[in-house]
Chains A and B, each alone.
Chain A
Amino acid sequence: MRAAWTLLKRDLQLAVREGGAIGTALGFYLLVVAMLPLGLGPDLNLLSRIAPGILWIALLLAALLSLSRIFETDFEDGSLELMALGELPLELVAAIKALAHWLTTGIPLALLAPLLGILLNLDIGAYGVLVLTMLVGTPAISFLGSIGAALTLRARRGGLLLALLVLPLYVPTLIYGITAISSALVAPDAFVPSLLILTALSLGSLVLGPIAAAAALRIQMQ
């Protein structure tokens, strides 16, 4: 377990020193959400109705930007091979790296979302629920995304391919994330089941993601 902790600490330290990845994702999120009202016009009712959907979809796209970085630099400089020869199973290495991605991208994006909600006239009762569903749902983005990141490691300019592979996997998270928010406003009875399914999706990805990503990494390292 000490090796896992060491790796997590190093990945967080690198994310802070490199800095760029977090800033890019947050800036992209801000820009997409800020541009939508410009395109749709100043209809406040329309904006507040579609706000949860916009905030979720823009968050998925912003997180997608930084997915390829989960394994890329370690693969290129040879660190990943050395980690594969460590005592820590490759599945755990993949899990730690996805966790570091969630801590440095998922959480900042989820915390930025309520600020952007103001731009879209999001219903005042929805702010707490929005952050809650995003904090619960974003682990699935990092852990499912790590599968795509591992699969496209050796593909030159694999960014678009990564989006094609990973976005369909995000559909359940998107559906239940939005259902949870809208039901909190309209039909409170349906809120808890939606949130529980969202949690289940994240927990499932926590198990499946690292196993699939490690299998893909083994193929990439051949």
Chain B
Amino acid sequence: MQLTGENLVLQRGQRTLCEHLSFAVTAGEVLLLTGPNGAGKTTLLRAIAGFLAPAAGAIELKGGDTEQTVGEQAHFVGHANGVKSNLTVTENLEFWAAFLAPKSNRMSHIERIDKALEDFNLLSLADIPAGYLSAGQKRRLGLARLVLAHRPLWLLDEPTSSLDDASATNLANVVNAHVAAGGLAIAATHLPLGFEPARELRLGRVAAS
């Protein structure tokens, strides 16, 4: 499986963020997007997820499900966590497990939720309403969605923001396991994440024209 972008032109408003951008990520590796603020890291991730159409060029997931869009085969972790403060941690996970993987049965949902709680060290918080969590704990809950349903492509936008060192290591373990099992991941970041094997794609700023 391979995700490719060819000759992409990305625009935000009237401003061109990148031109003639091409990249390829193959199964079993992580692509790290780096670059200064405003270089278009988030915009590129959102374009891959399908939220905005590139002004030119094409994004394709070769070897993926042709019936589904690239976004439907991807987990997207953006700046917002998608956490409901009036639901408990477990209820949040139960909803996303059932919503993202409606075809699998309840037993496998429970197994996956247990794994998610364990992977992101949320077990002691399982019955607490998510509104009482700290920023880092909410982030962990948002990231826990990654293991609730199987999707080959993971799009992570600054995944370690507000995470402590131990949680960042947990995340790296989860991502590395996903990649080792033949998954793909793209992460926008300013910090070293510990994801392996990783390649870097440096986005620069396009001179204003």
Q: Does B96 contact A (CB under 8 A)?
A: yes
Per-position 1/0 for B48-61, Cβ under 8 A of A: 01111000000000
- Are B76's CB and A82's CB within 8 A? yes
Considering the complex, which residues of chain B in the window 95-112 have a beta carbon less than 8 Å from any beta carbon of chain A? 95-96, 98-100, 102-103
Find chain B residues with CB under 8 A from A78 CB. Answer: 78-82, 142
Q: Does B41 contact A (CB under 8 A)?
A: no
Q: Which of B49, B82, B102 is A77 in contact with, Cβ under 8 Å?
A: B82
How far is it, in angstroms, between the C-alpha of A14 and the C-alpha of B86 when the chains are bound? Answer: 7
- Are B102's CB and A2's CB within 8 A? yes
Per-position 1/0 for B125-168, Cβ under 8 A of A: 00000000000000000100100000000000000000000000
User: In the complex, what's the smallest C-beta–C-beta distance from B38 to chain A, in angstroms?
Assistant: 17
- Are A77's CB and B87's CB within 8 A? no
- Are A77's CB and B76's CB within 8 A? no
Find chain A residues with CB under 8 A from B100 CB. Answer: 82, 86-87
Nearest chain B residue, comparing its CB with the CB of A1: B102
Q: Do A14 and B82 contact each other (CB < 8 Å), given the known contacts A88-B99, A222-B51?
A: no
Nearest chain B residue, comparing its CB with the CB of A93: B99
How far is it, in angstroms, between the C-alpha of A73 and the C-alpha of B131 when the chains are bound? Answer: 13
Query: How many A-B contacts if CB must be within 8 Å?
Result: 71
- Are A87's CB and B72's CB within 8 A? yes
Find chain A residues with CB under 8 A from B99 CB. Answer: 3, 6-7, 83, 86, 88
- Are B98's CB and A6's CB within 8 A? yes
Nearest chain B residue, comparing its CB with the CB of A222: B52
How far is it, in angstroms, between the C-alpha of A78 and the C-alpha of B95 when the chains are bound? Answer: 14
Nearest chain B residue, comparing its CB with the CB of A83: B99
Q: Does B71 contact A (CB under 8 A)?
A: yes
Find chain A residues with CB under 8 A from B51 CB. Answer: 81, 84, 221-222
How far is it, in angstroms, between the C-alpha of A175 and the C-alpha of B87 when the chains are bound? Answer: 41
Q: Does A189 contact B (CB under 8 A)?
A: no
Considering the complex, which residues of chain A in the window 4-57 have a beta carbon less than 8 Å from any beta carbon of chain B? 6-7, 10, 13-14, 17-18
Considering the complex, which residues of chain A in the window 46-93 have a beta carbon less than 8 Å from any beta carbon of chain B? 73, 76-79, 81-88
- Are B98's CB and A2's CB within 8 A? yes
- Are B78's CB and A10's CB within 8 A? no
Q: Does B205 contact A (CB under 8 A)?
A: no
Per-position 1/0 for B74-97, Cβ under 8 A of A: 111011111110110001000110
- Are B71's CB and A14's CB within 8 A? no
- Are B71's CB and A82's CB within 8 A? no
Find chain B residues with CB under 8 A from A77 CB. Answer: 80-84
Q: Which of A13, A82, A222 is B82 in contact with, Cβ under 8 Å?
A: A82
How far is it, in angstroms, between the C-alpha of A83 and the C-alpha of B86 when the chains are bound? Answer: 18
How far is it, in angstroms, between the C-alpha of A79 and the C-alpha of B83 when the chains are bound? Answer: 7
Find chain A residues with CB under 8 A from B68 CB. Answer: 87
Excluding A14-B84, A17-B87, A82-B82, 15 further A-B contacts by CB distance (< 8 Å) are A3-B99, A3-B102, A7-B99, A10-B84, A10-B95, A73-B84, A78-B78, A78-B80, A79-B84, A81-B82, A84-B71, A85-B71, A85-B74, A87-B100, A88-B102
Closest 4 pairs between A and B when the two form their complex, measured CB to CB: A78-B80, A3-B102, A2-B102, A6-B98
Q: List 28 A-B contacts (CB under 8 A).
A: A2-B102, A2-B103, A3-B99, A3-B102, A6-B99, A7-B99, A10-B87, A10-B95, A14-B87, A73-B84, A77-B83, A78-B79, A78-B142, A81-B76, A81-B80, A82-B76, A82-B145, A83-B99, A84-B51, A85-B49, A85-B50, A85-B72, A85-B74, A85-B75, A86-B100, A87-B72, A87-B102, A88-B99
